[in-house]
Structure 1
Amino acid sequence: MDSDFLPRIGITIGDINGIGPEVILKALEKQKITKLCTPIIYGSGKHLSKYKAELGFDDWQFFTISNTKQANRKKFNLINCYEGPNFPLDLGQVNKEAGNLAFQALKRATDDLKNGYLEALVTAPISKDNTQGVEFDFPGHTEFLANAFEAEDVLMFLVSNDLRLGVVTGHIPLEQVKKQINKKSIAKKLELMKASLINDFGIQKPKIAVLGLNPHAGENGMLGTEEKEIIEPVINEFRAKGNLFFGPFPTDGFFATQEWKNYDAVLAMYHDQGLTPFKMLSFDSGVNFTAGLPGVRTSPDHGTAFGIAGKNEADPGSMLQAIFYAIDIYKSRTLNKELKSNAISPVEIKKIMKANSEKN
C-alpha cells in the first residue's frame, strides 16, 4: 500500500434538518482528518452553508467539486447532489424535499463507491419514512446498499472499541423475527461475522458468542424450543469444524455479568436484543458497519435526532469513529489482499496488521 495515498471517504449529508450535518461539521472541524483521508461530502452546498451559519461555524469552509477526481486532499470537499425545487432549511422538522436530498446524496455516493471513485462511504442518518419513494423502498441504509451492490446477504455489525455485535434479523417488525430465525439465516450471519473479523479487523481465530431468542435462552425448552432445535445445532456444526463459537446465551445475564467481554463479537437474534445493550455501552463511540459488502460502509449509530437539531448539542463522537473505522477497514482489506497475493503466512499477516493498527 502506498504510504502517501489518502483514501477518499465519501460522507453523505443525511437529512439536512436533523443532526447529520452538525456532527459532520464538528467531526471534521476538530480533528486533522485531512492527514488521514480525503473527505468528500455529498449533499447541497447551499443548505450546508445555511446550516453552518445557524451553528456559528463561519470559519468552516468546503471546496465544491463536480467529481471525486477534483478532490483536494488538503480540504473538505463537497459534491452538490440535489436536483429539485428550492426549499428552506427547517431544522428539526420533517420536509419531503430534505428526504429527496438525502436520497440523491446517498445514490450518488453509492454509485461512486461501486465504481471505485471512493475507498469507503460514511452515511449520516436519514429519516427512513421521509426518504421513501420510487427508488428508495427500503427499511434503511443497510438494505438499500445490499440491493445496490447485489449482495446475497449482509450483516448489520455494530462495532466499538469495547464491543462488536451483529444481528440475524434487522429492520423488521418483531412479529416477523421468529419466521426468519432458522439454521440457514443464523449460519449465514455467522459466516459473514467470521469473515469480517478476519478480513476487516485482523482477528484470525475469532471467538464468537451467540445469544438465544427466548427469555433465559428457552429455559431448556420450557420457554421456547428455538435454542435446542435451531440455534444450538448450528453452533455445534461450526464448532465441529474448529470454530470458537459458543452459546446460546440468555441475553440479560450475558450482559449483566459482562460475559460479553470474553468474546471478539456477539451475534444477537434481532434488532433491539442487540442494539439496546450496544447503545448503552457505546452510544457516543459506536459505529454501524455493513459487513459483507464489496465496498466499505459505516455510519454513526444514532438517528436524525430532530429534537436537538440546530441547538449545537449533538455529540460528534460516533460520526468521528465512523470515519476512523471506514479508513481502518479499507486499509485492513487492502493489506489483506496484498499479503495474500504475496503468499505471506497467516501468522505474519497477523503481526503486520497488529503493527499497522498500533501505528494508526
Structure 2
Amino acid sequence: MDKEDKIIVGISIGDLNGIGIEVILKTFQDKRMLDFCTPVLFGATKAISYHKKALKLEVPIQGITSINQINHNKINLLNIWKEEVPIELGKATKISGEYAAKSLEIATTHLKEKKIDVLLTAPINKETIQSESFNFPGHTEYLEANLDGKSLMILMTDKLRIGLITGHIPISKVAETITPALIKEKVGVMYDSLVKDFGINKPKIAVLSLNPHCGDNGVIGAEDDEIIRPTIAEIKETGKLVFGPYAADGFFGSETYKQFDGVLATYHDQGLAPFKALSFGNGVNYTAGLSEIRTSPDHGTGFDIAGKNLANPSSFIEALFTGIKIFKVRKEYNELSKSPLLVR
C-alpha cells in the first residue's frame, strides 16, 4: 500500500494510570499492523517510556513534534507536552485526568482539521477528567459538542450492534427524556449509519421497550403504548424497516437480536449489560452520526490490573480495524453518492 493511501489513525492515550497505553503498545507489537494504517499517538515520550519499562514491552516508537513529520512505516508519537507528569499506576488522580483530556482535545482538533482520518480513544476516568474545559459525561458527549452531527453510541461486533436512545443519564431521568422526537432522531442516526458506514442497503432496526413486558397494556407503565409504539408506527410510514417495542429479556434470551441489523435500547444498561455478557473483550464502541469517525474498546481504565501486564488488547485491536473499515465504507458511499449514475 502506498503511503498516500494509508489511513492515518489518531490515538488518544486515555488515563495515564490505566491500561490504555498498555493495550496500545500490545496492539502494535505486531509490525504487520502498520500494513493497515499509520498510527499517531497523542501524548509524550516520557509517559510512553514509563509504561514500556513497567511492562517490559519493547515497541519502537518515533517521536514527532508536528503531524507533518509522520513516518508511514512507523508508530508515531506526537509529543504534546514536555513536562514530567507523575504516573501512579492503578490510581485515579486529577493530574492523570488532566493529561487524558489534553490528549483527547488535541487529537480531536487534528480530526476536525482532517489531519488524521480516524480517532481511536483509549479509556478515560469519567470523574478525574472533569474540569472547566471538560464538563461532559464521557467521550460521546464531548465529541458531539466538538464535531458536526447528532451522536449515537453504538456498541458493536460483526453480529450485534446496539445503540442507546438515552446515554449517560441517571435512571430516574430516562422515562421523561424519551420523547417521540428523540426516538425519531436516534432511529434516523442508526439507519443512516447502517447505510453509510456499514454498507447495509435496507437495514432492519429493533427498538426495545422501556418497561418490563412492554408495560403489560399499561399495568406497569404507559410509555411503551403511548410514546414508543405510535412513534415506531410513524417511522414505518416513511419506509424504514423499524420494529418493536420488544421486551428486552425475551429479545436477548430468544436470540431475536440476530434477525436485525441494529438494536436501539432505551437506556444504558438495558443495552450494554446483555451486549457485554455476549461480547465482552471483543466489542467496539462506535460513535455514529458525527462528521468524523471515532471508535474505542468496550472496556474501561482497568485500574485493578494497570501495570501488571494483564490487559488484553483484543477489543482495542477490534476498535482499530472497525474504524479503518468504517472509513473505507463511508468513503466509498460518499464517492458513489456524487455519481450521477447512482440510482437511489
TM-score by length of 2: 0.97
**How has the CA–CA distance of structure 1 residues 2 and 202 changed in structure 2, closer, same or farther, with 3 Å as cutoff?**
farther
Residue equivalent to 1:78: 77
1:61, distance to aligned residue in structure 2 (A) = 1.1
Give the letter for the 2:243 counterpart.
F
For 1:129 and 1:344, how far apart are their aligned partners in 2? Answer: 51
1:88, distance to aligned residue in structure 2 (A) = 2.5
Determine which of 271, 279, 282 is the counterpart of 1:282. Answer: 279
**How has the CA–CA distance of structure 1 residues 4 and 109 changed in structure 2, closer, same or farther, with 3 Å as cutoff?**
closer
Residue equivalent to 2:98: 100
Residue equivalent to 1:333: 330
Residue equivalent to 2:114: 116
Q: How does 1:3-152 map to 2 (within 5 A)?
A: 5-30=5-30, 32-57=32-57, 59-82=58-81, 86-151=84-149
Residue equivalent to 2:316: 319
Look up the SS of the partner of 1:29 in the other structure. Answer: coil
1:174 and 2:181 are equivalent in the alignment: no
Task: Identify which range, 255-264 or 89-98, moves more after superposition.
Answer: 89-98
For 1:8 and 1:145, how far apart are their aligned partners in 2? Answer: 19
Give the letter for the 1:334 counterpart.
K
For 2:217 and 2:23, how far apart are their aligned partners in 1? Answer: 46
Give the letter for the 2:197 counterpart.
D
Aligned CA-pair RMSD: 1.6
Determine which of 267, 272, 277 is the counterpart of 1:270. Answer: 267
1:336-358 residue CA offsets vs partner (Å, 9 max, x unmatched): 111121234369xxxxxxxxxxx
Determine which of 292, 301, 305 is the counterpart of 1:304. Answer: 301
Give the letter for the 1:295 counterpart.
E
1:25-51 residue CA offsets vs partner (Å, 9 max, x unmatched): 111113622111100011121011010
For 1:346 and 1:53, how far apart are their aligned partners in 2? Answer: 56
Look up the SS of the partner of 1:99 in the other structure. Answer: helix
1:215-252 residue CA offsets vs partner (Å, 9 max, x unmatched): 11111211111111111111111212221111100000
For 2:127 and 2:295, how far apart are their aligned partners in 1? Answer: 21
Look up the SS of the partner of 2:205 in the other structure. Answer: strand
| Gapped regions of structure 2 (runs ≥ 5) | none
TM-score by length of 1: 0.92
Q: Is the 8 A contact 2:65 2:80 kept in 1?
A: no
1:256, distance to aligned residue in structure 2 (A) = 0.4
Q: Is the 8 A contact 1:82 1:105 kept in 2?
A: no
For 2:343 and 2:304, how far apart are their aligned partners in 1? Answer: 49
Look up the SS of the partner of 1:34 in the other structure. Answer: helix
Q: Is the 8 A contact 1:204 1:346 kept in 2?
A: no
Matched residue count: 344
1:287, distance to aligned residue in structure 2 (A) = 0.7
1:66-87 residue CA offsets vs partner (Å, 9 max, x unmatched): 2222111110000122366x33
Give the letter for the 1:97 counterpart.
I
For 2:169 and 2:272, how far apart are their aligned partners in 1? Answer: 14
**How has the CA–CA distance of structure 1 residues 105 and 265 changed in structure 2, closer, same or farther, with 3 Å as cutoff?**
same
Q: Is the 8 A contact 2:7 2:38 kept in 1?
A: yes
For 1:181 and 1:83, how far apart are their aligned partners in 2? Answer: 46
**How has the CA–CA distance of structure 1 residues 44 and 346 changed in structure 2, closer, same or farther, with 3 Å as cutoff?**
farther
For 1:315 and 1:284, how far apart are their aligned partners in 2? Answer: 8
For 1:45 and 1:293, how far apart are their aligned partners in 2? Answer: 31
For 2:110 and 2:197, how far apart are their aligned partners in 1? Answer: 21
| Gapped regions of structure 1 (runs ≥ 5) | 348-360
Q: Is the 8 A contact 2:154 2:286 kept in 1?
A: yes
Task: Identify which range, 10-19 or 332-341, moves more after superposition.
Answer: 332-341
Give the letter for the 2:327 counterpart.
Y
Identical residues among aligned pairs (%): 46
Q: Which runs of 4+ in 1 moved over 6 A?
A: none
1:260 and 2:257 are equivalent in the alignment: yes
Give the letter for the 2:60 counterpart.
Q
Residue equivalent to 1:352: none
Give the letter for the 1:106 counterpart.
L
For 2:257 and 2:276, how far apart are their aligned partners in 1? Answer: 14
1:3, distance to aligned residue in structure 2 (A) = 9.5
Q: Is the 8 A contact 2:3 2:72 kept in 1?
A: no
1:244-292 residue CA offsets vs partner (Å, 9 max, x unmatched): 1111000000000000000001000000100001111111111111111
For 1:45 and 1:297, how far apart are their aligned partners in 2? Answer: 24
